[in-house]
Amino acid sequence: MAPKKSDPEPALAQIRIASIVIIVTMVLWMGLSYVGGLIELEARFAFLFDLAALAAFLWALIVLFNAWRTRQIKKD
């Protein structure tokens, strides 16, 4: 097994993970909303999908903010 390359800056790994979470969340959210409309799911399930997507977006926002702050502190 080849050794993993470590990022020169840990904040870059956090940014990459948050970006992936945002993309996957958006695709899943739109897909679940579309499929839910096709099979006529109840509105409570639509709200559940919305809340799960909002939680993922909030998590990504917090991670990105922390990465930004870390890079700002290291810059000074």
Find tokens 């958006």 and name the residue: 26
In the prediction, which pLDDT does 4 show? Answer: 60
Note down the domain range covering 39: 10-75
Model confidence pTM above 0.85? no
In percent, how much of the chain has pLDDT > 70? 89
Q: Please check whether residue 26 lies inside any domain of the structure.
A: yes
Could you give the number of structural domains in the chain? 1
pLDDT digits (tens, 9 = 90+) for 12-45: 999 999 999 999 999 999 999 999 999 999 999 9
Q: Tell me which residue of 21, 8, 10, 6 sits closest to 62, measured CA to CA.
A: 21
Give me the chain's average pLDDT, please: 90
pLDDT of 47 over the 90 cut? yes
In a domain, 4, yes or no: no
Tokens representing residue 8 in the block? 């020169």
